[in-house]
Amino acid sequence: MTNDCIFCKIANKEIPSEIVWENDNFLAFADIKPIEEGHTLVIPKKHFDTLPDLEEEISKDYLDVIKKIAKILIDKYNADGFNIVLNNGKSAGQIVNHVHFHIIPRKEGDNKKGLTLG
């Protein structure tokens, strides 16, 4: 737990979130300002600032968790596809300094050709 990290507080259930899925090490929850219906964030419950900071035990499971959440979102929102975005570092638009992947369900004709976050 890092002081004043909002995602640590969400992981510890000190701040409520709309939980999509969780296990001992990861939490998926709804983005508070979704850019499409179903926009979800996937975090390790343990605090790491950025992707290169992840310890091996977490990083080796992260992609499997992303795949699992993507499948959940495709089914739940009847999506055709999805975007995965990770803003790594301030210059790349990272605002919350607790590593997180964005998963954004997409549908044919939703009129967004690309995505810009941050």
Choose from ligand AMP, Zn ion, none: what does 40 bind? Cβ within 5-8 Å by kind: none
Is 47 a residue that touches Zn ion (CB under 5 A)?
yes
What is the rounded CA–CA span in Å between residue 88 and residue 69?
Answer: 20
Choose from Zn ion, ligand AMP, none: what does 95 bind? Cβ within 5-8 Å by kind: ligand AMP
* The dihedral sign for the CA sequence 2, 40, 24, 52: negative
Residue ranges that bind ligand AMP, judged by CB under 6 A? 6, 17, 31-33, 41, 87, 93-96, 117-118
What is the chain's alpha carbon radius of gyration, rounded to the nearest angstrom?
14
Q: How far is CA 56 from the centre of its chain?
A: 19
Listed in sequence order, the residues at least 6 apart from 79 whose beta carbon sits closer than 8 Å to its beta carbon are: 38, 73, 105, 106, 107
| Shortest separation between residue 20's beta carbon and ligand AMP, angstroms | 11
Q: Is 92 helix (H, G, I), strand (E, B) or coil?
A: helix
Choose from ligand AMP, Zn ion, none: what does 98 bind? Cβ within 5-8 Å by kind: Zn ion
Nearer to ligand AMP, 8 or 79 (CB): 8
| Shortest separation between residue 67's beta carbon and ligand AMP, angstroms | 20
Q: Which two tokens stand for residue 10?
A: 């969400």
**Catalytically active residues, by annotation:** 100
Which residues contact Zn ion (rule: CB under 5 A)? 2, 5, 7-8, 47, 98
